[in-house]
Amino acid sequence: MTMEISKLSVLTIVLVPFLLLAAVAVVAGDELTTFIVHAQPQGNHALATDDDRNTWYRSFLPEDGRLVHAYHHVASGFAARLTRQELDAMSSMPGFVAAVPDQVNELHTTHTPQFLGLDARKAKRSYPVSERGAGVIIGMLDTGIFPNHPSFSDDGMPPPPAKWKGRCDFNGRSTCNNKLIGARSFISSPNATTSNSTSNDWRRVPPVDDVGHGTHTASTAAGAAVPGAQALGQGMGTAVGIAPRAHVAMYKVCTEKGCADSDMLAGVDAAVGDGCDIISMSIGGGSKPFYQDSIAIGTFGAIEKGVFVTMSAGNTGPMVSSVANEAPWMFTVAASTMDRAIRSTVRLGNGLSFHGESVYQPDVSASTFYPVVHASASGKPFAELCGNGSLDGLDVRGKIVLCVMGSGPGGNITMILKGAVVQSAGGAGMILLTKFPQGYDTLAEAHVLPASQVDYAATTAIESYINSTASPTAQILFQGTILGTSPAPSIAFFSSRGPSLQNPGILKPDITGPGVNVLAAWPFQVGPPSAAVLPGPTFNVISGTSMSAPHLSGVAALIKSKRPHWSPAEIKSAIMTTADVSDRAGNPILNEQRLPADLFATGAGHVNPDKAADPGLVYDIAPGDYIGYLCGLYDSKNVSVMARRPVDCSAVTVIPESMLNYPSISVAFQQAWNRSTPVVVERTVKNVGEARSVYYAAVDVFDDDVIVRVYPETLVFTQVNQEQSFKVVVWPRQNSAPLVQGALRWVSDTFKLTLLPILLLATVVAAVTGDDELQTFIVHVRPHKGHEFDTTDDRTTWYKTFLPEGERLVHSYHHVASGFAARLTERELSTLSGMPGFVAASPNHVYKLLTTHTPQFLGLELPQSGRNYTSGFGDGVIIGVLDSGVYPFHPSFSGDGMPPPPAKWKGRCDFSGAACNNKLIGARSFESDPSPIDHDGHGTHTSSTAAGAVVPGAQVLGQGAGTASGIAPRAHVAMYKVCGDECTSADILAGIDAAVGDGCDIISMSLGGPTLPFYRDSMAIGTFGAVEKGVFVSMSAGNDGPTGGTVSNEAPWMLTVAAGTMDRLIAAQVRLGNGATFDGESVYQPNTSTAVSYPLVYAGASSTPDANFCGNGSLEGFDVKGKIVLCDRGNDVPRLDKGAEVKRAGGFGMILANQFADGYSTIADAHVLPASHVSYAAGVDIKKYINSTANPVAQIIFKGTVLGTSPAPAITSFSSRGPSVQNPGILKPDITGPGVSVLAAWPFQVGPPSAPALPGPTFNFESGTSMSAPHLSGIAALIKSRYPDWSPAAIKSAIMTTADPDDKSGKPIVNEQYAPANLFATGAGQVNPDKALDPGLVYDIDPAEYIGFLCGLYTSQEVSVIARRSIDCSTITVIPDRLLNYPSITVTLPSTTNPTAPVVVSRTVKNVGEVPAVYYPHVDLPAAVQAKVTPDSLQFTGASQVQNFTVSVWRGQSTDAKVVEGSLRWVSDKHTVRSPISISFA
């Protein structure tokens, strides 16, 4: 078995977060649980002996038998089994400091000594074979040891040093000797990893290794020489540890289930007390503050007493910030490959061959091919992983089975198990396929059948082959052990990466050592039972950072033996500063993708034991320096826990991370850093080389983004152990790269050393955000049953009980969410999650801000027309707009003639002075700027679009002239400013909460963000609460079109609005020198001569990359003076910025050409120079013309505002498309409204400064689904004003079922390519306000039905977050998405449907039209689908009467289409009620 990647794929063990005493409330009150208790004697209470200390420890405990471990050397305290109540009582006793619950951590060579150069002649001089590790004791903390293995023979070994105080706890005859000098166990029962028991009878198990891991690591570090070592005949040679003359002491602290904190701390404590020189631990857990990390606490005590500590970096790579064992006093080891492969080659039936690896290599025929089958063909969930039972029902007998790497949801599908499953199903062999993160790495396993693990490139080719033929075949050929492979070393895919979460200012990992396919001692035979048992002891080949760490323990023992007085920090420095940064071929060390590995993967580089023996200079750290470093991270109490004595940090000189005398440099620049101020780092080196020597500084930072200087540049030494200090000064440049790395080398005549890896973080990236950084979280909480709050102040007071002291509360939610937003650290959030009432928490997401003519285009006329069908144009309705604020002094928000707001209004106006009135009745801010004033313009535009007052003489730079009016000019407006520089989910949720509490009827949000499950989507949660309280919600669909699956705001209780064009063009025509003309658009239309043509040039002709997009500075050095420049749309360069760049470069004008995706969609912008935005087709023709003549010319002719253009409406390119990612069973978007070149109020003048300022208020043309959504908010207000008792669902139904599927000319609505737009673009169609006011029938949805819908998607806990109350989905009738009473129908047809087995959809309609009335169904679907509606008519005899019907759907004629669409129309004498139908084929 492979402990690391098979067993250690189980790294998904849930590690209970370390909590201090306040958090132990999560432990059941009467359950005995192991706690580690830190205690310190008070005053002059001296404890002379260990027995005295044990007696004092027991004085804390309620009875005998509770003490698990007493700590004497590296921690001040004990482990004991206690109930929570007992711990609570103990916490008040004198001497108590802190307590943490016990945690479980996971266990994270014939060739390696040669690979590391230890057989070279020079290395034999540095470390004579007879002295390698002599006199050094390595304490191994692991799973125990198999003492009878010859790797632990003491032939020729001297007795242990006199300081040794340990013991040997094997039962029966003595099995320890002068090699294995001690063995102890700290495992008290087979279930010790949980440390819970109701019995006081705990017995130690012997330190024998029943897993194999400890035997392997111990022999790797210091095993004796064993000739004839092999695993199943592979890796043949003489096995020897790195320090074969060192003594070994085993401390068993782990079982196959894991390693408990209390046992590990006891093991470290014993190893230090026994006299070990080096502690080696191939163990790791989750990242946590050092004062909560028992391993960090124990190893700090070890270092203080001069013991070197080696730790594995972890096996959760290649993810960033996954490194474990991060404390700077630990030596953290990454894992690399060697130049050895145990090769098994896959040969396919098409002749292609791919090298893989396997330790088990039976004799096979080179001429026989076997059928190949992919395990996923069984159809079972996760079948491709080949777990137990996954191949049942799949014929694999006599076949080679393709299985995929991965341990499965339970983390228990090891690589060996995969082969066993294939073998038990009758398979002839297995090819183990890898995933992309594993790259080119392969692992050699002792499989139980012929097998080969291949890399990702081979995986892709093999899967392509089996999909290309009906009868794929393959064979597996074995080629034995191959030496000299390359690249070597390279970083293993599983090796955990930095930066460190706990201390990003210290580079971790520190070093790299061999960790892939390492052969070492093993307690038992490996491979299949049928494998021939070869003579000699048993060995195994396994992989992991568990294997790399003991290599470095052995190297440390070599140095300690040679330099017995060196401190742990000096040994670490010697190893790090002499490490190799290149592989054996002299190339940079690569990662698993065969790309250069960064310092977060390699640390200082790959260990070079020979150079480490004579480093020249070392960086030493006194243990007291670590106290100063810790005081820079934590408070005095927490540092005292680590130091095992009281520490007053106010009396300690704090040492920042970058100033700790570490043999690497890491500097992080905050984003607000003053770039003119350098960072200064100081270091001190000690001369351990030649007495008289001179070193010169050489800086290798090959990046212009930073400047690095060293002062002084020369260090002169005249004696051994002399110390010299120097400074490294770093200047970051403006807009420097996010990560820069390099090295500082101090070079003398004798030593040419890469001494200091340098890591410069130009900005602090998310990956290095520590647990102590304050972030805003939205926290959902629920009071206990019966706990009610009389006022919002009472609820806010309760919210504050969850929070630490200080101003942490950002928002309190009362109406649409049960909870609050607060600034917390990750650690504080973890503590809060254990408190009664906590439900869930989510990070604060950032969202994006996404008309004189539109009322007429929509068929609405202004109030003075005298038409009365709009019944007051929104009278009495309050629209709450969540946006960037509002400019209250614009006449669009005049209160002239407006009645006071309804009596229900509870809002307020936060402008200073009297800026609000009967139109703008409220304005509040929820972002950092307390004023709701609009500094952007977006909020002013959207709110005036929805409900702006009538303003004659509106225009933008003279275009679009007319009378401006909102869709519902008599509605009231309340602005909730939730956007400043960004729009965060915490502020948005607060705005929704306030809008509902204030009494708004409609909420309008032109915002969008990432698609998220609804229980994690604050806008979905908040708007669900709003809809439950009768508030209609209109949302923009997003501006990420025309790609499918991009629609935002997907919840079915929202109205999701797409964007279409209008029949208006702000025309700017392009005329070329060849006479061709092309219609485009621009708002800025200066007086230009129609007789003058200008030279025409394509920006893409510049040599500057991406110059065709006309980004800032892209036209530098390109002659455009006096010319018209053709620029391409896109590349994240705003359209107005493109014109600004052309103007800056001296251009006369600009033609802005679409890319293919934007098709014929053009936009009228207030450009800063003469310009025209043309279609993709026009752009292609213009480029052809430029390329056809040596002197291309053009002119731009402005034609003003043109009405009656066609096609209109058409779906614009940017409008986001369905299907919905979160709920594909609900058609999204719902509806289309005007969203292109919409004229509405604006706070300031637009266009170039030279443009004449026309009299009157300022307006602007804007485009986006941000513009279409407020149109629908206004229409909803019209309907709400006429039908005040209608629910949000009824209003939505009225809008959707009366929408127009055709454009103004009666043709199908087209998309940006002028092809018919599908339902994923249009939704139900273009809104028709006139028809929506009299829909005939409506589809209503009670809010409780959404709960049934949600229970079909999520768990009870997740639904409870959305519902703001406890939901038990097992007691609720689940409503599948197709059965939700939605005004559109979405169905997925399985292949088995037919007239006798259709998919049935049910709906209920309510009569809101004339009485009596009869409606008849008309189904419009293509021949690929058949449908039947039952009953065949609906008869209504009363108002608000409801009727039910079903639609049965099945497959019709064969089709290649994946989706077809149509509609269901219920038709009466006066009404047509149309529901779009979208049908996909499974």
Q: CA separation (Å) from 326 to 284, 305, 624, 773, 1318?
A: 10, 20, 18, 18, 55
CA 1432 to chain centre: 52
Instruction: Enumerate the β-bridge partners of residue 707.
Output: 731
Is residue 327's pLDDT more than 90? yes
Q: What is the mean pLDDT of residues 543-556?
A: 94
DSSP 771: T
Is residue 526's pLDDT more than 60? yes
**Residue 1270 is encoded by which pair of tokens?**
């407020």
Q: Residue 791, class by beta-carbon neighbours within 10 Å (0-12 exposed, 13-18 middle, 19+ buried)?
A: exposed
Is residue 995's pLDDT more than 90? yes
Residue 1118 burial (CB count, 10 A) = 17
Q: What is the mean pLDDT of residues 1260-1279?
A: 92
**Residue 972 is encoded by which pair of tokens?**
């009231």
Q: How far, in Å, CA of 1224 to CA of 490, rounded?
A: 44
User: Tens digit of pLDDT for each residue in 866-900?
Assistant: 333 334 688 999 999 999 999 999 999 999 989 99
**Residue 1391 is encoded by which pair of tokens?**
């292949």
Q: How far, in Å, CA of 1150 to CA of 1086, rounded?
A: 13
Greater confidence, 238 or 144?
Answer: 144
**Residue 879 is encoded by which pair of tokens?**
């629209």
**Residue 94 is encoded by which pair of tokens?**
């004198």
| pLDDT at residue 391, as a whole number | 93
The candidate with the shortest Cα–Cα distance to 644, out of 1121, 232, 268, is 268
| pLDDT at residue 99, as a whole number | 82
* Backbone Cα Rg of the chain: 37
User: Tens digit of pLDDT for each residue in 1037-1075?
Assistant: 999 989 999 999 999 999 999 999 988 888 999 999 999
Q: How far, in Å, CA of 1263 to CA of 858, rounded?
A: 17
Is residue 57 a contact partner of residue 72, using CB atoms and an 8 Å limit? no
DSSP 994: H
pLDDT bucket at 764, cuts 50 / 70 / 90: very low
pLDDT bucket at 436, cuts 50 / 70 / 90: confident
Is residue 1288 a contact partner of residue 1267, using CB atoms and an 8 Å limit? no
Q: What is the 3-state secondary structure (H, E, C) of 1137-1174?
A: HHHHHHHHCCCCEEEEECCHHHCCCCCCCCCCCCEEEE
Instruction: Enumerate the β-bridge partners of residue 520.
Output: 540
Is residue 558 a contact partner of residue 243, using CB atoms and an 8 Å limit? yes
Q: What sections of 1034-1153 are H helices per DSSP? A: 1135-1144
How big is the CA angle at 88 (ends 84 and 89), to the nearest 5 degrees? Answer: 120
**Residue 949 is encoded by which pair of tokens?**
């007052």
The top-scoring range by mean pLDDT among 92-96, 117-121, 638-642, 1032-1036 is: 1032-1036
**Residue 235 is encoded by which pair of tokens?**
């890796």
pLDDT bucket at 861, cuts 50 / 70 / 90: low
| pLDDT at residue 672, as a whole number | 52
Q: Give the number of C-alpha atoms closer than 13 A to the C-alpha of residue 108, restricted to the C-beta side.
A: 35
Q: 1310 φ, ψ to 5°?
A: -105, 165
| pLDDT at residue 864, as a whole number | 40
Q: What is the mean pLDDT of residues 144-173?
A: 90
**Rama region for 1049: left / alpha / beta (φ>0; ψ in -120 to 50; rest):** left
703 Cβ neighbours under 8 A, 6+ residues apart = 737, 740, 742
| pLDDT at residue 838, as a whole number | 82
Instruction: Enumerate the β-bridge partners of residue 861.
Output: none
The alpha carbon torsion through 261, 263, 264, 265 (nearest 10 deg) reads 80
Is residue 195's pLDDT more than 70? no
Which residues participate in catalysis according to the annotation?
A: 142, 213, 546, 883, 938, 1266
**Residue 967 is encoded by which pair of tokens?**
């869709």
Q: What is the mean pLDDT of residues 1302-1329?
A: 93
Dihedral sign (CA 987, 989, 993, 996):
positive
**Residue 1154 is encoded by which pair of tokens?**
């679409």
- Helices 294-304 and 636-643 pack at an angle, to 10 degrees, of 60
The candidate with the shortest Cα–Cα distance to 755, out of 668, 801, 688, is 688
Please, what's the b/e burial string for 799-819 (b: 16 or more CB within 10 A of its CB; e: otherwise)? beebbeeeebebbbbbbbbbb
Q: What is the mean pLDDT of residues 391-410?
A: 91
Greater confidence, 443 or 739?
Answer: 443
Is residue 400's pLDDT more than 90? yes
pLDDT bucket at 193, cuts 50 / 70 / 90: very low
The alpha carbon torsion through 832, 833, 836, 839 (nearest 10 deg) reads 130
Strands 180-185 and 137-142: unpaired
DSSP string computed for 554-566:
HHHHHHHHHSTT-
User: Tens digit of pLDDT for each residue in 772-822?
Assistant: 578 888 888 877 665 666 677 777 877 877 777 667 888 887 877 788 888
**Residues, the chain, total?**
1482
| pLDDT at residue 437, as a whole number | 77
Q: What is the mean pLDDT of residues 1351-1363?
A: 91
Is residue 664's pLDDT more than 60? yes
| pLDDT at residue 45, as a whole number | 67
1434 Cβ neighbours under 8 A, 6+ residues apart = 1337, 1405, 1414, 1415, 1443, 1445, 1466
**Residue 67 is encoded by which pair of tokens?**
């003490």
User: Tens digit of pLDDT for each residue in 931-945?
Assistant: 899 988 999 999 999
Q: Give the number of C-alpha atoms closer than 13 A to the C-alpha of residue 802, restricted to the C-beta side.
A: 33
Q: What is the mean pLDDT of residues 1214-1242?
A: 92
SS3 1249: coil
Is residue 199's pLDDT more than 50? no
pLDDT bucket at 959, cuts 50 / 70 / 90: confident
User: Tens digit of pLDDT for each residue in 618-639?
Assistant: 999 999 999 999 999 999 989 9
Helix, strand, coil % (nearest 5) of the chain? 20, 30, 50
Please, what's the b/e burial string for 1381-1395 (b: 16 or more CB within 10 A of its CB; e: otherwise)? bbbbbbbbbeeebee
* Residue 989 amino acid letter: L
pLDDT bucket at 841, cuts 50 / 70 / 90: confident
Q: How far apart are the first and last CA of the chain?
A: 42
* Residue 213 amino acid letter: H
SS3 709: strand
Residue 1093 burial (CB count, 10 A) = 16
| pTM tops 0.75 | no
Is residue 452 a contact partner of residue 358, using CB atoms and an 8 Å limit? yes
| pLDDT at residue 1269, as a whole number | 94
Q: What is the mean pLDDT of residues 225-229?
A: 88
pLDDT bucket at 558, cuts 50 / 70 / 90: very high
CA 940 to chain centre: 35
Q: How far, in Å, CA of 83 to CA of 100, rounded?
A: 13
Q: 856 φ, ψ to 5°?
A: -65, -40
The top-scoring range by mean pLDDT among 34-43, 107-116, 315-324, 1231-1240 is: 1231-1240
797 Cβ neighbours under 8 A, 6+ residues apart = none
**Residue 736 is encoded by which pair of tokens?**
């420097």
Residue 200 burial (CB count, 10 A) = 11
Strands 353-357 and 451-454: antiparallel
DSSP 264: H
| pLDDT at residue 643, as a whole number | 86
Q: How far, in Å, CA of 634 to CA of 625, rounded?
A: 14
Q: Which residue has the tokens 């008290």?
A: 188
Q: How far, in Å, CA of 407 to CA of 6, rounded?
A: 8
834 Cβ neighbours under 8 A, 6+ residues apart = 19, 23, 25, 26
| pLDDT at residue 27, as a whole number | 36
* Mean pLDDT over the full length of the chain: 86
Q: What is the mean pLDDT of residues 994-1017?
A: 91
| pLDDT at residue 833, as a whole number | 74
